[in-house]
Amino acid sequence: MDEPAAGRIQRAASGEGLVVVLRCTQQLLRRLRATPPTDVLPSETKLGDWYGTAFQVRRRRLALFVSEHTRLPIVLNGAELKRLPSALAERLDGVLVALGVEERARAEERARMSDAVFAPTRSRSVVGSLNEAVSMARTFLARRPSITVLELALDLAEVPIGPLKGANSGDATAGILGRAADDAEADPIDLVFLANSGMSMACRRLAGWNPVWLRARRFWGFVPGEILRVRPFTSWADEGRDYISGEVVSKRIDATALGLVPLKLEAMGDWDPMEEYWGEDGDPIEEWAKPIIARGPRPLFEMEQVLPGLDFDDSDSDPICLAIDLKDRGNRYGARESLMALCEADLRCLDAHAHLGNFVFDDSAELAIRHYEVGVRIGELSLGDGFDGVLSWGLIDNRPFLRCLYGYGLCLWRLGRFDEAASVFERILWLSPSDNQGARFVIDLVRARRRWEPERC
């Protein structure tokens, strides 16, 4: 701001010009070395005065402002405080673009924020909202230390606000300023969901593989590897990332459409049923085992296991074990985020799909089955039609695929899809006749259409 502070204060007090009032905490006023006037006229912006404070998380110095009328949060890097209010106007415009506010309304709001005057806070309610936003920001930053200030503001704008009767500040702001009309003719796009990233979804375009981050009203409950059909609303870029806001209209599992390189199958010789243990001498052979034995020797394979981030020289670096440890210590969010990061790095990490399914199995068979099925379908890309080989559990790299398959079968059973479940368990027995997972103990119950119960598996 080139105009001397005294001139700005005089114009604010007299009502001349377009001036926004930045009501700062005493801490921020000291940092800005600002001496506020005793009284100023209200801001001429539709969003009202802006209440701000500074805070720090680890080494990141930040400032956070909220709108008086809608509590919309705007986050700035600490260095941007040197050029208020232009930095605030720029950051606000970025948030409004993401919220889908029409361009004319954005331009008007920017013009009204072309100059500013500092003042002390006066509303306890707005200060309360400001403090709550800072507390929430600290939580988000603890989970995602590298989050950008724009995405942090957008995540905060999704949080319901008490003074707004449970509405969120993003919707309240768009309601005042007006959203751009949706383009009903916009062509839907297909995105491959990879991972949740706060309230954004890390995806890639199905065609072209370009990474893109999706923000949608519903951002939870999707499975890495699912293909989302999205009706786009608006798009923007932030710190090298491309973002889209839109509505997810459908989802599907189609591993063949993902364009993945199939996992390698390494030939390990032949598997001979005569070398397997089928019970003590004199004991009858179980019915499920008879056709497998009669089939005779079959080729044995080990499926390639993809595990991003594994250091083969460090036994403690296994990312799956680290995720399980996080879950066991009560950090389910961190565990799930770690597993999704593996899927984001390479969707062929079947063990990540298996454990994502395991993590939600007790709570939702409907969600767990989708995690398992993606893993199964990606593994099947390596097998092709008519695969008649053996994937022994004893070859440890086969275990992720077998875990996905077994979890898939259990979910089918829980959901009452008995015929499909029986086919899956029979397939496990043919693939891994040693049956270290226990398919032989449940297949007769499934065929008898007995209801799933936890103690049975």
pLDDT at 15: 41
pLDDT at 17: 43
Domain 5-177 architecture: 2-Layer Sandwich (3.30)
d(Cα 190, Cα 115) in Å, to the nearest integer?
43
pLDDT at 304: 97
Cis peptide before 454 (omega within 30 of 0): no
- The β-bridge relationship of strands 50-57 and 60-67 is antiparallel
Six token digits for residue 269: 């010789």
> pTM for the whole thing?
0.86
d(Cα 177, Cα 171) in Å, to the nearest integer?
10
Under 8 Å CB-to-CB from 48, ≥6 apart: which residues?
Answer: 42, 67, 68, 69
CATH topology of domain 189-252: OB fold (Dihydrolipoamide Acetyltransferase, E2P) (2.40.50)
DSSP string, 16-36: -S--EEEEE-HHHHHHHT---
Question: What type of residue is 3?
Answer: E
Closest by CA position to 428, among listed 290, 305, 288, 285 = 288
Q: At what angle do helices 399-414 and 350-361 cross, to 10 degrees?
A: 30
Residue that the structure tokens 């005294």 belong to = 6
pLDDT at 217: 81
Six token digits for residue 453: 């119960």
d(Cα 381, Cα 354) in Å, to the nearest integer?
17
Q: Is 222 helix (H, G, I), strand (E, B) or coil?
A: coil
Instruction: Name the β-bridge partners of 300.
Output: 390
pLDDT at 2: 39
Closest by CA position to 228, among listed 211, 250, 208 = 250
CATH hierarchy code of domain 265-306+346-456 = 1.25.40
Six token digits for residue 348: 């062929």
Average pLDDT for runs of 10 along the chain of length 457: 41 51 93 80 86 94 96 96 92 94 90 86 95 96 92 94 89 90 76 91 92 88 96 92 94 96 97 89 88 96 93 78 91 90 96 97 96 98 93 97 98 97 97 95 95 78
Domain ranges of the chain: 5-177, 189-252, 265-306+346-456
